Amino acid sequence: MELHHLRALHAIARTGSLTAAAELLHCTQSALSHLVSDLERTLAVRLVDRDRRPVTVTAAGARIVACAATVLPQVAALADDLGRIRQGATRRLLISLECHSCIEWLAPAMASYRSRHPQVDLDLRMGATFDPLPSLTAGAVDLIITSERSAGPGVRSDALFRYQIMALVPERSPLRARAHLEPRDFAGQTVITYPVAECRLDLYTRFLDPAGIVPSRRRTAELTAMIVQWVASGQGVAALPSWALTGIQAQVAIRPLGRAGLWTDLHALRRERDQAAAHLDDFISTVRRESFASLPGIVAVPPPAQSTPRRSARSRQGAPRPS
């Protein structure tokens, strides 16, 4: 068994789809299917139940996934440490970013931070391939930007800001006549999202799941611009952070989700043992400052005691989720 086998089973378990898992691993669905089939023949045990929707791993496959959740972050951390040794870096700040659209406003914050901390080896890793918390605790990353507030023992959470998630529908869709969308409006629709598991998407866990609504199909795209264009061409509907929709010129209608709107929080997670690290404090301060200076519509996150519980039964079973 090799690392690519661990990555394959891990991606299938997280996405529930061979197609989505292949996209995460940058390979074809056929290649991924052959890889799993070869491993099943070698081990003489079934690892993936392809007949179920979503696709699930078997009990044997779950054992491999559990091993992958531990081994893959450790391998990534080792490779990163060796790279820093080769480059002679004295301090590292490796950020895992779950929200794909965040890169649009995070890049200026990173540039501002680099100008003040040139000695810090600052890098960014998209968090779609690994579970974020094992990566953090194992040392594969130093900071996670996520919508998760509570992260468990050994992890500290710092609130960044609160923002609204907005629905996108085609300009010619009958839904554009609605002042806001209800969960039932998504029944029978193709939903276009970033390539992450549904249990990590607020659209599902906090809007569709509680109402018992299951869209007919889900498509994924990594780029915000591609999601917007697919919606504009009538290929489905989507839900994106409000800041990602500023200035778009595609033929889409933007509507709130629910009468009160669907709001979510963004947090920065780090290891508690690193909470005294001044370079981490300054990075979080920089992100807050740059965000409130450039992102329209965001507000401060209230203290935990004032927040409404956000996690459904489905989301409690999954990893921290992006927007």
Q: Is the predicted pLDDT of residue 320 greater than 80, yes or no?
A: no
Distance, CA of 64 to CA of 70 (rounded, Å): 10
- The pLDDT assigned to 85 comes to 57
Q: Is the predicted pLDDT of residue 319 greater than 60, yes or no?
A: no
Mean per-residue pLDDT of the chain: 85
For the stretch 264-296, pLDDT in tens is 999 999 988 887 788 889 999 999 999 998 888
Q: Is the predicted pLDDT of residue 153 greater than 50, yes or no?
A: yes
**For 54-62, what is the mean pLDDT?**
91
Q: Which residues 6+ apart lie within 8 Å of 8 measured at CB?
A: 21, 25, 32, 35, 36, 39
- The pLDDT assigned to 86 comes to 61
**Amino acid, res. 37:** S
> What is the CATH code of the structural domain delimited by 162-260?
3.40.190.10
**Amino acid, res. 303:** P
Q: What is the value of pTM for the model shown?
A: 0.64
For residue 210, list its beta bridge partners: none
Contact (Cβ atoms closer than 8 angstroms) between residue 10 and residue 69: yes
- The pLDDT assigned to 232 comes to 94
pLDDT band at 196 (very low <50, low <70, confident <90, very high): confident
For residue 220, list its beta bridge partners: 193
Same fold, 86-161+263-309 and 162-260: yes
Contact (Cβ atoms closer than 8 angstroms) between residue 265 and residue 159: yes
In words, the CATH class of domain 86-161+263-309 is alpha beta
Q: Where are the domains of the chain?
A: 3-68, 86-161+263-309, 162-260
3-68 adopts what CATH topology? Arc Repressor Mutant, subunit A (1.10.10)
Token pair 């569709």: residue: 208
For the stretch 294-308, pLDDT in tens is 888 899 988 766 444
pLDDT band at 257 (very low <50, low <70, confident <90, very high): very high
Helix (H, G, I), strand (E, B) or coil at 166: strand
Q: Which of 87, 142, 162, 149 is nearest to 283 (CA)?
A: 142
pLDDT band at 70 (very low <50, low <70, confident <90, very high): confident
